[in-house]
Amino acid sequence: MEFSTSTATSLHTLKAQALAIGVFQDGILSPAADALDQASGGAIRAVVQSEFDAAPGSCLTLHAPAGITADRVILLGLGRQDSLTAAILAKAHQAFAGYCVSAGVGTAVSTLCALNAGDASPTDCARTAARLVAAATYRYDQTFSRAKPAVKLRSFTLHLPRSKAAQAKTGLEQGAAIGAGVNLARLLGDLPPNVCTPTYLGQTARGLAKQFKTLKAEVLDRKKIEALKMGSFLSVAKGSVEPPAFIVLRHTPSKPAARKAAPIVLVGKGITFDAGGISLKPGPAMDEMKFDMCGAASVLGTMRAVAELDLPREVIGIVPSCENLPSGSAVKPGDIITSMSGQTIEVLNTDAEGRLILCDALTYAERFKPAAVVDVATLTGACVIALGHVNSGLFTQDDVLAGELLAASRQAQDPAWRMPLEDAYQDQLKSNFADMANIGGRPAGAITAACFLSRFTGKYRWAHLDIAGTAWLEGKQKGATGRPVPLLTQYLLGQCGA
């Protein structure tokens, strides 16, 4: 996919198979739409007045309009002119990208980033547009007997004033990298669990290291994990014949001057299939537990984006990965295990396994003396009950870090909501037989899960993202979303001053 900008003044002479223009409600045309209306002798305005209400996300195609070189002009609804936001522009670009892919369009031009949305810069608009176009081209066909038809869309151009072109070009570069990272995360999530195993995730990390010179991958096997005394992580892996993998993927900027700051560490939960262990999950929708490694997938996708952009900051991705299955060797309710930190844990429910693998990874992260650590996990159904499928749950006691992540979520159109993490909730994790229990009961389940993780993060700034409600779609649209790769990459861009 080729992304570019155009500052040509004669919009009606641009050659493209699809040319997108914005239209506001009450028949108000954007400047680009007005220019094409004049070139077409009033054809645009006539159609708008007769059949297009311009609701946000709506789309109408005009084929070969007179006086315009483009094969199609796509009218995109933007709602009320005085209410234009970055989110509405994103919705319009998503509709345009979807149309281009479904209609077999090869070359597309959008004029939307020429518009001023009060809460978005040209860089923000272009970044989001490129990411959404990249997402629209995603096709999963790895396990079909016949490959799906190839997407024909090969070029996407933003037409905008010369004064915005440089910022838009930067945004397109960032958005293309983020889109590729999102699609990698989606692919890893969508692959079946008999393909995407812990070993496969390790191979993916090594493949990224071969593709990008700034990345270095290390994959620790069971013996090395045992040598590190990661008893909590290994307790979850005991029930499966699939070997565990502890993946460390490190981005070192190509410019030496950019290596001075302390690294930022991302930790992703990599349970490639979660049957619940001895505390077996119900059968319906258990197939969706292949998505329980979407935290790991998002970390790998983010690391891909980081490497493609060669961000001027050291970033380290850590992925503890295994399966959680019932067997004669599986960890049992009532077992006491010892984490890498030396703290002991009473396992009351083997289906609360994500925190058991993450806690050892969080302890491992100490060795990097990080500036901040963000873990990402499909951790609790309780977070889905609290926030649904719109916002990822954000937990941290660091107000500055929370502000940075929330700002990034808004800027990336990848929303998160801060949840409480007060010490009073820690009491629910008390155990009569160990330093802590691995669950705190039904009340505030997402919060007590975060409280558990917080006990392993005392030596650095830390935040936890619970993506159980946002990592994948259910029902007929079932598939991984690639979230929160946009949020994480935007946060890292912000830390680099980009």
Where do the domains of the chain lie, and which CATH numbers do they carry?
2-160 (3.40.220.10), 180-495 (3.40.630.10)
Can you tell me the distance from the alpha carbon of 162 to that of 147, in angstroms, rounded to the nearest whole number? 41
Can you tell me the distance from the alpha carbon of 300 to that of 297, in angstroms, rounded to the nearest whole number? 5
Q: Give the global pTM.
A: 0.97
Instruction: State the residue for tokens 């977070």.
Output: 383
Question: pLDDT 10s digit of each residue in the chain, 498 long?
Answer: 999 999 988 999 999 999 999 999 999 999 999 999 999 999 999 999 999 999 999 999 999 999 999 999 999 999 999 999 999 999 999 999 999 999 999 999 999 999 998 778 999 999 999 999 999 999 999 999 998 899 999 999 999 999 999 999 999 999 999 999 999 999 999 999 999 999 999 999 999 999 999 999 999 999 999 999 999 999 999 999 999 999 999 999 999 877 889 999 999 999 999 999 999 999 999 999 999 999 999 999 999 999 999 999 999 999 999 999 999 999 999 999 999 999 999 999 999 999 999 999 999 999 999 999 999 999 999 999 999 999 999 999 999 999 999 999 999 999 999 999 999 999 999 999 999 999 999 999 999 999 999 999 999 999 999 999 999 999 999 999 999 999 999 999 999 987
Instruction: State the residue for tokens 């060669």.
Output: 310
- Element spanning 271, H or E: strand 270-274
pLDDT attached to residue 119: 77
What amino acid occupies position 257? Answer: A
What is the sign of the dihedral through the CA atoms of 9, 15, 20 and 26?
A: positive
List the catalytic residues: 281, 355
What amino acid occupies position 97? Answer: A
Going by the DSSP 8-state scheme, the letter that residue 33 receives in this structure is H
What amino acid occupies position 480? Answer: A
pLDDT attached to residue 382: 98
pLDDT attached to residue 9: 82
- Does residue 169 contact residue 297 with C-beta atoms inside 8 Å? no
The pair of three-digit structure tokens given for residue 65, joined into one six-digit string: 């309009």
Cβ neighbours, 10 Å, residue 66? 8
Can you tell me the distance from the alpha carbon of 107 to that of 101, in angstroms, rounded to the nearest whole number? 10
How many residues does this entry show for the chain?
A: 498
